């Protein structure tokens, strides 16, 4: 018996539930539910290569679910997210400088952050709420969200379509690549913060 979140289990689930199952998995994954979206899309592409699902429909459903999931996160950030951030800043004073830096980063580079987060495991569900909470204009957010979803979904589904019998191996590589990307992004953010802090220290000296 396969674990429900391993590639074989996901492929079996999608074979039973079809496009609805694909939409639900990718949508909730973009909301922060721990669903391995890369593996879901790889499995969907794999099934298209076996003529169980239709490839063009998978592209459309995958992109639509990714975009709508991020838009739901944006709506939360625009409504309740801002109040949550304000409450955290007021309740935990030591978090206030970090929150302000995060707001400034998204206000300045928010569109790039939305696009890049699409390719980083564990970071996708943060982009929508943070973009909404920092007041990014919806159409700007939607444009970069859509572009990221088209490239990411298209790439992962196509790889799944072409992998043949190597689905599990490719899924493992995709998970590792996502974790490495997240580590690289976090390291870059840390180095940037340290550099800015050092610069402010020198200017204040």
- Give the pair of three-digit tokens for residue 59: 């592209």
Average pLDDT of the chain is: 75
Q: Please, which residues have CB within 8 angstroms of residue 31's CB and are 6 or more apart in sequence?
A: 69, 72, 73, 125
Query: Between 56 and 199, where is the model more confident?
Result: 56
More confident residue, 36 or 4: 36
Is a pLDDT exceeding 80 seen at residue 28?
yes
Q: Is the pLDDT of residue 4 over 90?
A: no
Q: Which residue has the tokens 């444009």?
A: 143
pTM: 0.71
Q: Tell me the Cα Rg of the chain.
A: 19
> According to the model, what pLDDT value does residue 177 have?
43
* Element holding 112 (H helix, E strand): helix 96-117
What six digits make up the tokens of 46?
A: 């794999």
Cβ(144)–Cβ(71) below 8 Å = no
- Separation between Cα atoms, residue 11 and residue 21, nearest integer Å: 10
18: pLDDT strictly greater than 80: yes
| Amino acid 89: pLDDT | 65
Is residue 8 within 8 A of residue 50, CB to CB? The reply is no
Highest mean pLDDT among 33-37, 91-95, 96-100, 119-123: 33-37
* Contact residues for 74 (Cβ-Cβ < 8 A; gap 6+): 128, 129, 131, 132, 138, 141, 145
Gap between the Cα atoms of 164 and 181, Å rounded = 26
- The answer to whether residue 169 scores a pLDDT higher than 50 is no
The structure tokens listed for 195 are: 């550099």
Joined together, the tokens standing for residue 42 give 């790889």
| pLDDT of 17 strictly over 60 | yes
* Mean pLDDT on 17-29: 92
Quick one: 199 exposed, middle or buried, by C-beta within 10 A (0-12, 13-18, 19+)? Answer: exposed
Better-predicted residue by pLDDT, 55 or 170: 55
**How sure is the predictor about 120, in pLDDT bands with cuts at 50, 70 and 90?**
confident
Lowest mean pLDDT among 16-25, 31-40, 70-79: 31-40
The pLDDT value recorded for residue 63 is 96
Give per-residue pLDDT as tens, 64-90. Answer: 999 999 999 899 888 877 676 677 667
Q: How confident is the model at residue 30 (pLDDT cuts 50, 70, 90)?
A: confident
């Amino acid at each position: 018996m396969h674990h429900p979140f391993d590639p074989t289990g996901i492929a079996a689930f999608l074979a039973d539930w079809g496009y609805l199952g694909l939409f639900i998995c990718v949508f909730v994954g973009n909301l922060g539910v721990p669903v391995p979206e890369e593996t879901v899309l790889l499995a969907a592409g794999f099934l298209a290569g076996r003529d169980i699902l239709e490839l063009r429909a998978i592209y459309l459903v995958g992109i639509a679910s990714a975009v709508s999931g991020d838009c739901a996160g944006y709506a939360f950030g625009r409504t309740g997210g801002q109040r949550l951030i304000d409450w955290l800043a007021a309740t935990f004073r030591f978090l206030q400088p970090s929150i302000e830096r995060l707001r400034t980063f998204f206000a300045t580079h928010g569109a790039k952050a939305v696009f890049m987060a699409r390719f980083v495991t564990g970071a996708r569900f943060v982009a929508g709420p943070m973009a909404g909470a920092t007041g990014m204009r919806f159409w700007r957010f939607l444009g970069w969200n859509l572009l990221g979803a088209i490239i990411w979904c298209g790439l992962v589904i196509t790889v799944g379509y072409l992998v043949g019998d190597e689905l599990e191996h490719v899924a493992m590589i995709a998970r590792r690549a996502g974790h490495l990307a997240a580590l690289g992004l976090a390291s870059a953010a840390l180095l940037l913060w340290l550099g800015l802090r050092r610069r402010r220290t020198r200017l204040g000296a």
